[in-house]
A and B are shown apart, each in its own frame.
Chain A
Amino acid sequence: MSPRSSVMDSTEPPAPVRNAKLNLAESGRWVWTQLTSMRTALILLLLLAIAAIPGSLLPQRAADPNGVTQYFSANPDLAPVLDKFQLFDVYTSAWFSAIYLLLFVSLIGCVIPRTKHHWDALRQQPPRTPSRLDRLPGFTEREFSGVAPEAALSAADRVLRAARYRVVRYERDGVLSVSAERGYLRETGNLIFHFALVGVLITVGLGGGFAYNGQRVIVEGQAFSNTLIAYDSFSPGRFFSDSALQPFNITLNSFTTRYEERNANAIGQPIDYTADVTTTLRGGDPTPAVIKVNQPLNIGGTSVYLLGNGYAPVITVRNAAGQVIFNDAVAFLPQDKNFTSVGIIKLPDGLPTQLGLVGFFYPTVSTGHSGASFSMYPDLLDPMVTLNVYQGDLGINEGLPKSVYALDTSGMTKLTGTKTDLPSLEMKPGETAALPNGMGSVTFDSVKKYVSLDVHHDPAQGWVLGFAIMAMLGLFTSLLIPRRRMWVSIQPVEKTKKLLVEYAALARGDDPTLEAAVGHIVDAHIRDLGLTRD
């Protein structure tokens, strides 16, 4: 009898007809009814929850490619089997996609008929007053004297309208009544919520297709312009085209870090990173801006994030004749939280043989018991560079692109450092060290900082947010607004010459305040009629 079940029942599958001669259309309809049933939606939701679990237990290619590589080398037998089942790409796997696509088909199939049903309900009058109210929740009786039936009826009408009910009057066998309903917004909210979920799914999918995402390292004083070749790494969506790259420039003026200096439990913990930049959007004036960790820069519909930072020692290399053959700020990759960093310098030309320099940088150098150096503080208190020199083929003449952060030393001869006759070259800022065999010299001029920026553009992001907020609001209304019907029936009593007034209500869904709501209407009705409570 509950109006709530009338809608829900429309999504319940009828008992399946086990008939051998079930024709195609019938079985199609049967499958559809099953799919769009509440029970199927529930099962699919639970399946989706279970299917999401393995992606949190195993490393995923999209989020943690190194983790996947490590997993493969640690479990050479198991990993390929897991890979067959797409367990390293759970969230794009066929089985995960199948579950959520089915769920959304079910969702659409369920929501469209409900929308129509609700649309009709919105334009219908509240239904006839039931002939017996006394078995409904909140049933209340009152007897009034000296009040005309019509007056009581219009008062009930007024009071219910004031409480935002939709009201219609009925008469049956001399009994006047009003039938009222409110809370249509509950179902509206529910439908908006479910539609908004479809919206989120579609915009997330589309956005991923048109988005791009690139990384770039910039040293203080350098500039970066938003073109494909400027990126160190770049991952475009399926429908990406170059025209999505907004023409802008970013120059890194300076990068400052602040480290905790007073709290003894956190000495050296970073507390602030600030990149001061100048940006130019094509045709515009240079504009100063700041990028921080939780404060990306927005430029031309593109967001630029501060992802990482490090030190770039400025190194000059001269040959035996004193000519400068290399002069650059070299980005060293941090290895620990105190910025012990590793960097590579390749010297293909200008010397008798090709040389590769593998360097360590310590912003605050210290020496451990074993004699090995390390950095004991992340800031530049006592910086030092050490370099090991390798001689031989750098392998860059084959035309294959090589990472600037890696040097393949397998075919090279080590000239300085451990297991050689010569110590590593060690330099403080401003110092110069001699290359072995009189080949020339290396100077550590100064230290600059670098940042690594992540540039991200997703044209559908605003839409995703919009649908998410819509879902949230829909959810709010649908779970918190009560939908209820209320009736007031009025009949004169022959014997006592009084007026018998009955009140009752019916809720749709869970409604803890239903009876209190009837009480309020009763009180308001009595007040409106100018009577006192008996």
Chain B
Amino acid sequence: MTDALSQYSVLSLYSAMAVYAIAFVLFTIDLATKASEGRVSAKFSRIAFALTWVAFALQLAATVMRGFAASRVPWANMYEFAMTGTLMITAVFLLTNLKWNLRFLGAFITGIVLILLGLAATRYYVEVVPLQPALQSYWLVIHVFVATLATGFFALGFSLSVLQLMQQRREVAVVNGTKTRLTSLGRLPDAVALENFAYRLIIIGFILWTFTLIAGAIWADKAWGRYWGWDTKEVWTFIIWVLYAGYIHARATRGWRGTRSAVLALIGFGAVMFNFTVVNIFFKGLHAYSGL
């Protein structure tokens, strides 16, 4: 029973990846086509967005089946972190779109999700195993879930900041009357609007990350007998928190708004990804639960 369920989970995940891949191609075409050809590409963007919902549903099914197969939350090793983490990234993207139209981020979001899922499924797949005693805690449910949710918001903020930087270049080129290959961005919100969107999403991510940090310390105190010990994973969680605090201050500092604060958002998300991949895989520490 468990075996069958986890196999269906894998099947469902691979189907989700196939659909994400198609959505990614369509989103990219949409982003790259010029405003004048807008008719066709607007259709592409709509289809791609619908496909992202489909992929999300398939991935959600995969994740839920994995959880049932294991009789626990499906986030207890690297493969499962990737599965749930990318699910959250897509979820935040889809839900944010109910409020603001940020479909133009689709290429970034499906791209990030595809890369992470591809790596996880091919390199880090592990069979379902029970939780070791150190992970048997409701803090696993809360702490890791909120961390992945925060990652979803940071991913969106990152994508917006990349676009903001590109948009800024285009705007400068337009003002100076120089040529630019970024003309297709003319349809998107201007750099300031992109920056404002990025900021709103990142502060939500930051609040969630602050919670993750505190919850992690409480859990560490229960499991390891100290709330903070500069374990590698703790160090990187702290670094990410400080980087994003820097980002928030940059937005409030004259001369740091715009490009510089966007670059900080990129560095912050770089650190999030580093923490999730390199630190989990190569660094030794107490958090060596990733089940590699």
Contacts and interface: CB of A to CB of B under 8 A. Distances in A.
Contact of B222 (A53, A91, A295): A295
Interface string B101-135: 00000000000000000000000001111111110
Interface stretch (B24-32, B38-46, B160-168, B241-249): B241-249
A453 B223 CA distance: 12
A55 interface: yes
A10 to B, nearest CB: 13
Nearest to B261: A42
Specify which of A42, A204, A464 lies most central, judged by the most chain B CB atoms within 10 Å of its CB.
A42
Contacts of B229: 62-63
A42 B253 contact: yes
B218 A465 contact: yes
Interface stretch (A129-137, A314-322, A470-478): A470-478
B292 interface: no
Contacts of A510: 196, 199-200, 251
B211 to A, nearest CB: 6
Nearest to A211: B226
A476 B253 contact: no
Interface stretch (B54-62, B147-155, B231-239): B231-239
A475 B244 CA distance: 13
B217 interface: yes
B200 A512 contact: yes
A269 B134 CA distance: 12
A23 interface: no
A294 B242 contact: no
B223 A294 contact: yes
Contact of A294 (B133, B207, B264): B133
Given A12-B254, A293-B134, A512-B196, A49 B217 contact: no
A147 interface: no
Interface in A1-54: 8, 12, 38-39, 41-42, 45-46, 48-49, 52-53
Given A56-B279, A295-B222, A303-B225, A272 B133 contact: yes
Specify which of B207, B235, B279, B284 lies most central, judged by the most chain A CB atoms within 10 Å of its CB.
B235
A49 B242 contact: yes
B288 interface: no
Interface in B186-242: 196, 199-200, 203, 206-207, 210-211, 214, 217-219, 221-232, 235-236, 238-239, 242
A294 B256 contact: no
Contact of B223 (A45, A293, A479): A293
A307 B132 CA distance: 14
Nearest to B134: A293
Interface string A81-102: 0000000001100000000000
Contacts of B256: 39, 42
Nearest to B268: A49
Nearest to B135: A294
Interface in A42-83: 42, 45-46, 48-49, 52-53, 55-56, 60, 62-63, 67
A270 interface: yes
A52 B235 contact: yes
A271 B131 CA distance: 7
A228 B91 CA distance: 54
B283 interface: yes
Given A52-B242, A465-B218, A510-B199, A63 B207 contact: no
Contacts of B126: 265
A475 B207 contact: yes
Interface residues of A toward B: which range? 35 or more
Specify which of A56, A461, A471 lies most central, judged by the most chain B CB atoms within 10 Å of its CB.
A56
Contact of B133 (A63, A90, A273): A273
A294 B226 contact: no
A52 B129 contact: no
Contact of B221 (A8, A260, A461, A512): A461
Contact of B253 (A38, A67, A90, A271): A38
Contacts of B11: none
A269 B129 contact: yes
A53 B237 CA distance: 11
A266 B71 CA distance: 14
A263 B130 contact: yes
B129 A296 contact: no
A292 B211 CA distance: 25
A56 B225 contact: no
Contact of A55 (B130, B230, B252): B230
Contacts of B236: 56
A296 B210 CA distance: 25
B35 interface: no
B77 to A, nearest CB: 12
A250 B235 CA distance: 35
Nearest to A479: B203
B275 to A, nearest CB: 10
B180 interface: no
B5 interface: no
B290 interface: no
B129 A266 contact: yes
Nearest to B133: A293
A271 B228 contact: no
A512 B245 CA distance: 21
Nearest to B136: A294
Contacts of A42: 246, 249-250, 253, 256
A469 interface: yes
B97 interface: no
Contacts of B127: 265-266
A271 B225 contact: no
A465 B221 CA distance: 11
A420 B130 CA distance: 45
A472 B210 contact: yes
A307 B131 CA distance: 17
B225 A307 contact: yes
Contacts of B196: 510, 512
A41 B130 contact: no
Contacts of A62: 229-230
Contacts of A49: 239, 242-243, 246
A296 B242 CA distance: 31
Contacts of B283: 56
A265 B128 contact: yes
A484 interface: no
B136 A260 contact: no
Contacts of B2: 263
Nearest to B275: A56
A52 B214 contact: no
B246 A294 contact: no
Contact of A60 (B206, B225, B230, B279): B230
Contacts of B131: 271
A471 B209 CA distance: 13
15 contacts: A8-B254, A12-B254, A46-B243, A46-B246, A52-B235, A52-B238, A63-B231, A263-B129, A265-B129, A271-B133, A293-B133, A303-B221, A469-B214, A472-B210, A479-B203
The 9 closest A-B pairs by CB, nearest first: A266-B129, A265-B127, A293-B133, A305-B225, A294-B137, A56-B235, A45-B246, A49-B242, A56-B232
Given A53-B235, A204-B228, 4 more contacts: A91-B230, A271-B132, A294-B223, A465-B218
Interface of B: 2, 126-134, 136-137, 139, 196, 199-200, 203, 206-207, 210-211, 214, 217-219, 221-232, 235-236, 238-239, 242-243, 245-246, 249-256, 264, 279, 283-285
